[in-house]
Structure 1
């Protein structure tokens, strides 16, 4: 009798362990899906905002180059001046790239992956 009760209990434990493993697998699938979707939507939002900013910057640059060209009485000089401004901005951004790029991206994606 004790052997049969023990056998029934072990079968019950095996069932419960199987259900537990299946539930954990489903949980981690959903958790992985959530992380992938949050990352994908964050990248998509960033890309759309970046595209809009680039378009504004492009047309503003052309307008500034035309204004400077009219001021200097030489349109090539106006475009060259705007190009020089962008070279200076690129140098400054290169010098401070760690503070502006790496840290915010690491903080954002660390929040997505580890806090939720």
Structure 2
């Protein structure tokens, strides 16, 4: 009479373990979906803002080049000065690239590990 009681306890325990594993799996899937969606929306927002910033920079650069060229009396020279400015900015960005990488990594790791 003792064997069926023990067997019933094992069956009940196995069922509870299976329910726990299924609910944990569902939770992890939901958590991963939430995290991925936060990352995707953050990347999409960054992409849109980056494109808008580049368009703004393009028109401001054209205006600055034309204005500078008019003041210098030589339009190509105005474009060269603006191009030289951007070359200087690019060199500074290259020298400071490790700080930029660190900042981006910190931002996205905060998005990923926000509730751990």
Normalising by structure 2, report the TM-score. 0.95
Structure 2 Cα separation of the partners of residues 71 and 60 of structure 1: 16
Structure 2 Cα separation of the partners of residues 75 and 68 of structure 1: 7
Question: RMSD over aligned Cα, in angstroms?
Answer: 0.9
Structure 2 Cα separation of the partners of residues 77 and 115 of structure 1: 50
Higher relative contact order (CA 8 A, sep 6+): 2
Structure 1 Cα separation of the partners of residues 75 and 11 of structure 2: 86
Equivalent position of 1:102 in the other structure: 101
Structure 2 Cα separation of the partners of residues 74 and 7 of structure 1: 94
Equivalent position of 1:55 in the other structure: 55
Equivalent position of 2:93 in the other structure: 93
Q: What is the deviation of 1:17?
A: 0.7
Structure 1 Cα separation of the partners of residues 92 and 38 of structure 2: 32
Q: What is the deviation of 1:115?
A: 2.7
Which sections of structure 1, spanning at least 5 residues, go unmatched? Answer: none
